[in-house]
Amino acid sequence: MDKRAFNIRHLPGATALAITCFVILYIPMVILIVNSLNAGKSISVWEGISLRWYGTALQNEGFLNAATTSLILASTAALVATVTATMAALATTRTKSFRGEGTINLVLNQPLMVPEIVLAIALLIILAQVKQITGYNGLGWLIIAHSAFCIPFAYMPIRARLQGMDLTLETAAADLYASRFYTFRKVTLPLLAPAVLAGFMLAFVVSLDDVVMSEFLKSPGQDTLPTYLLGQLKRNLTSEIYAISSLLLLISVLIVAGSWALTRKKT
């Protein structure tokens, strides 16, 4: 057997398939953006580049309301999720053995184990009664529902960071006369900050992207960006839809890039 230069890393065909895969993933999104720049009225006929549909979208009251709702919803839900997840992560890490740890972990990851539509109709059932009883039809229900399924997404990066943190740092702080709160403020929190921010961004994106839960649980007149989009789709396919979709695409890319930059920077 002759030992020619062998690189196991080189798998024949892998590169070709991989590039194909990337192409397949990106072409539809690129086409979407291109279509949104169609100056013409009809989506089938190309009439040059224009930003008119973005203009139309931005003047559309329905769209603006949905966008505002989405932003408020995502920010609040992500905030609630991140704060509670941080507290929970602090509770379950940096300890040799803590009897509740397994249970808490299981509970906090539960939303990920059940298909989203099942959760959605489960909440639909409950909220149908509760909305009738309390008469409250506002955004609060969506905020809490989103918080619930966003918690696991914030929990994961924060918990991972805490587990990887050097335990002796907190011991050293205590040795140097720091109270528990002072240690948290000056040592734990600064080191945790990038992960908390990453968790927040993840939760934000997950909430912003949610279609199923929002569609099922929204009250009449309420719309998030995705549900607005879904509603528009039901009627007809217009270039305005492409513009809105492209905007959503852009927001996601920006957030992912931001989260990426944050995690790359960590020493």
Partner 1 sequence: MDIAETRALRADARRRWTLAMPAVTIITLFSILPLLVVVVYSFLTPGDYGNVKWIWSTEGWFQVLFQRDIFDDTVTLSDAHLTILGRSVTLSLITTLITLFLGVPTAWFIATRPARQRAFWLFLITIPFWTNLLVRTIAVQEMIRSEGLINRLLLWLGAIDAPIQMMYTNFAILVGMAYVFLPLMVLPVYAAIERFDFRLAEAGYDLYASRLYCLRKVVLPQVKAGIIAGSILVFVPSLGAYVTPRIMGGGKSMMLGNLIEMQFGQGRNWPLGAALSLALTALVLVALVWYTRLTTGERRHG
Partner 2 sequence: MLEIRNLTKSFGAGATAVTALHEVAFSIAEGEFFTLLGPSGCGKTTLLRLIAGFEPPTGGALVLDGRDVAHLPPNKRPVNTVFQNYALFPHMTVAENVGFALGAQGRPRSEIAETVERMLALVQLDHLAHRKSAELSGGQQQRVALARALAPKPRILLLDEPLSALDMKLRKEMQVELKRLQQETGLTFIFVTHDQEEALTMSDRIAVMSGGRIQQIASPRDLYDHPSNSFVAGFIGESNFLDARCAGGKLFAQGAELEVDHADGPITLMVRPEHVVLGTAQGLTLRAKVETLVYFGTDTHVHLTLPDGARLVARVQNALRGGAPCAEGDTLTVSLPADALRLLPKDA
Site for partner 2 in 146-205 (CB under 8 A): 166, 168-169, 171-179, 182, 186-187, 190-191
Q: Which is nearer to partner 2, 184 or 230 (CB)?
A: 184
For residue 138, state whether it binds partner 2 (rule: CB under 8 A): no
Select the binding partner of residue 175 from partner 2, partner 1, none (C-beta < 5 to 8 A, by kind): partner 2
**Taking CB within 5 to 8 Å according to partner kind, which of partner 1, partner 2, none is near residue 190?**
partner 2
Binding at 213: pick from partner 1, partner 2, none (beta carbon under 5-8 Å per type): none
Position 262 contacts partner 2 (CB under 8 A):
no
- The interaxial angle of helices 140-164 and 101-113, nearest 10 deg, is 130
For the chain, the residue count is 267
To partner 2, the closest distance from the beta carbon of 184 in angstroms equals 12
Please answer whether residues 241 and 54 qualify as being in contact, where contact means their C-beta atoms are separated by less than 8 angstroms.
Answer: no
Q: How far is the CB of 64 from partner 1 (least distance, A)?
A: 18
Q: How far is the CB of 248 from partner 1 (least distance, A)?
A: 5
Number of residues located near partner 2, criterion CB under 8 A = 18
| 24 interacts with, out of partner 2, partner 1, none, CB within 5 to 8 A per kind | partner 1
63 burial via Cβ count (<10 Å: 0-12, 13-18, 19+): buried
- Rounded to whole angstroms, the Cα distance separating 11 from 261 reads 31
Query: In this structure, are residues 245 and 209 in contact, taking their beta carbons and an 8 Å threshold?
Result: no
Buried/exposed code over 16-37 (b: 16+ C-beta within 10 A; e: otherwise): eeeeeeeeeeeeeeeeeeebbb
125 part of the interface to partner 2, by CB under 8 A: no
Measure the CA–CA gap between 208 and 73, rounded to whole angstroms: 8
Nearest-approach distance from CB 179 to partner 2, in angstroms: 6
For residues 95 and 110, give the distance between their C-alpha atoms in angstroms, rounded to a whole number.
Answer: 23
The CB-of-13 to partner 1 minimum distance in angstroms stands at: 7
Instruction: Give residues 13-72 in contact with partner 2 (rule: CB under 8 A).
Output: none
CA atoms within 13 A on the CB side of 131: 16
Interface residues with partner 2 (CB under 8 A) are: 166, 168-169, 171-179, 182, 186-187, 190-191, 267
